């Protein structure tokens, strides 16, 4: 309750300031997100089932009532009989003493299911964190893109208005004006497209944070670490992912689960016994007789046309399948981690290329702008230079956030 109150105070404070950081967004999504709540419910269900499985081994209070027309006890746990016909009531306590390993298998299976629920809960938290980072970076990239287009649009509009004045005195041509207007319209279309991406991103973020859709929020920029590759030791990370990651641990539990299934099917070959004690009554011809009774009850399915044997062999195949699935999981972890690592290397190198391209484009634009103002180059050359610098800004900013998202995706494979 205290945590909920603190979270509500924090959320109200954030909404009042209308600004949220990446760390805040991740924390709120993990504490308040719908996916996490569903995963927590699954975890609670598995804990209840584990508790239920352990209680199978405990004594059981039971009641049996029936109308019989026989001279032998034909109902389970009824050690009394009727002469002709009558009502039978029996209440007692029973305790399993041998189930062929079925109870132990039930307990182990429930414990494995709980472990799997814990792993899936951690997986959900990991995936939610990565999804928040991805959405957050997409929003920031869209905002920076809109800013780059807006700056260029303002510059282009000023020059276009100047050219429209020049056309009156014959110092500009209609083709130059048309080209500039086309470029301006294209820029406005790009702004609208990016605004749509921004709007969808904000809606998605608010849904992940479980915020009302009518609340207006903004997000804060964050510093992307430099030299991201310095945080990566691939060989160490690969070893950790193969041995400690959620995916590898889930694969191991699948083998354990299959082995427990084999134990449970083996129990079907063996007799099941339990002791019981209780008090029963028989009502015949308006006469009721009561007595205490108890004993050992044994059930043994001796012949089922090979059904139990088929189930046992199927369980062995399940173990073999689970072991093969673990190998596939290992291969998948290794492949996905390698792909993520190579992707980071590629993007990191491309970042250097885009940064140099941006530096060159900005320098060329300033030079061409000066030349255009002095009448050394044409309006068309200026438009080309202006489009190049805008494109370079957008590509560099987008790639910067994509690099960070790729790095976090790589890190998530280690968890």
Phi, psi torsion values for 76, nearest 5 degrees: -60, 140
Per-residue model confidence as pLDDT tens digits over 271-312: 888 998 888 877 766 677 778 888 888 888 888 788 888 889
How many domains in the chain? 1
Give the span between the Cα atoms of 361 and 356, in whole angstroms.
Answer: 8
Average pLDDT (326-355) is 96
Q: How confident is the model at residue 165 (pLDDT cuts 50, 70, 90)?
A: confident
Task: For residue range 238-280, list pLDDT tens digits in order.
Answer: 999 999 999 999 999 999 999 999 999 998 888 888 998 888 8
Q: Are 331 and 251 in contact (CB under 8 A)?
A: no
Cα(347)–Cα(330) distance, rounded to whole angstroms? 26
Q: What value does the mean pLDDT take over residues 360-375?
A: 91
Summary count for the chain: helices (H), strands (E): 9, 6
pTM summary value: 0.83
Domain membership flag for residue 70 = no
Q: Is residue 5 part of a domain?
A: no
Instruction: Examine residue 194 and state whether it is found in any structural domain, yes or no.
Output: yes
* 56, part of any domain: yes
Instruction: List the domain range (segments joined by +) for residue 153.
Output: 14-60+100-271+306-412
Q: What pLDDT shows up at residue 1?
A: 47
> Is residue 287 domain-resident?
no
In a domain, 279, yes or no: no
User: What is the domain-level CATH number for residue 340?
Assistant: 1.20.1600.10
Task: Please check the confidence at residue 176 and state whether its pLDDT lies above 50.
Answer: yes
Residue 10: pLDDT band with limits 50, 70, 90: low
The answer as to whether 86 is a domain residue is no
Secondary structure of residue 259 in the 3-state scheme: helix
Start-to-end CA distance of the chain, whole Å, equals 29
Confidence of residue 318 (pLDDT cuts 50, 70, 90): very high
How many CB atoms within 10 Å of residue 54? 13
* 71 in a structural domain: no
pLDDT (mean) for 366-379: 89
């Amino acid at each position: 309750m205290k945590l909920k109150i603190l979270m509500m105070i924090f959320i109200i404070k954030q909404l009042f300031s209308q600004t949220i950081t990446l760390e805040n967004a991740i924390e709120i999504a993990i504490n308040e997100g719908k996916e996490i709540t569903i995963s927590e419910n699954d975890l609670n269900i598995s804990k209840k089932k584990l508790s239920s499985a352990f209680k199978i081994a405990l004594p059981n209070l039971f009641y049996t009532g029936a109308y019989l027309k026989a001279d032998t006890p034909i109902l389970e746990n009824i050690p009394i009989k009727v002469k002709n016909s009558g009502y039978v009531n029996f209440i007692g306590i029973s305790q399993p003493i041998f189930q062929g390993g079925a109870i132990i298998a039930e307990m182990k299976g429930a414990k494995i299911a709980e472990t799997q629920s814990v792993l899936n809960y951690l997986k959900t938290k990991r995936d939610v964190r990565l999804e928040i980072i991805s959405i957050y970076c997409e929003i920031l990239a869209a905002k920076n893109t809109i800013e780059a287009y807006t700056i260029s649009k303002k510059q282009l509009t000023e020059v276009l208005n100047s050219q429209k004045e020049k056309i009156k005195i014959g110092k500009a041509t209609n083709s130059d004006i048309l080209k500039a207007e086309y470029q301006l319209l294209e820029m406005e279309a790009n702004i609208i497209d990016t605004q749509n991406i921004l709007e969808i991103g904000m809606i998605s973020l608010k849904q992940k944070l479980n915020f009302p859709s009518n609340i207006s929020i903004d997000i804060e920029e964050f510093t992307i670490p430099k030299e991201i590759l310095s945080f990566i030791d691939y060989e160490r990370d690969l070893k950790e992912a193969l041995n400690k990651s959620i995916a590898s641990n889930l694969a191991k539990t699948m083998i354990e689960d299959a082995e427990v299934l084999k134990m449970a099917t083996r129990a079907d070959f063996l007799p099941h016994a339990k002791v019981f004690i209780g008090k029963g009554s028989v009502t015949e011809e308006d006469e009721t007789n009561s007595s205490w009774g108890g004993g050992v009850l044994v059930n043994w399915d001796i012949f089922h046309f090979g059904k139990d044997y088929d189930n046992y062999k199927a369980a062995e195949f399940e173990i073999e399948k689970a072991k093969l699935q673990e190998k596939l999981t290992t291969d998948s972890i290794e492949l996905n981690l390698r792909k993520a690592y190579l992707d980071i290397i590629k993007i990191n190198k491309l970042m250097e290329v885009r940064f140099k391209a941006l530096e060159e484009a900005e320098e060329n634009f300033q030079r061409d702008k000066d030349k255009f103002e002095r009448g050394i180059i044409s309006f068309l050359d200026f438009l080309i230079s202006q489009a190049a610098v805008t494109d370079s800004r957008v590509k560099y900013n987008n790639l910067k956030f994509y690099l960070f998202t790729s790095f976090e995706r790589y890190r998530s494979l280690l968890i």
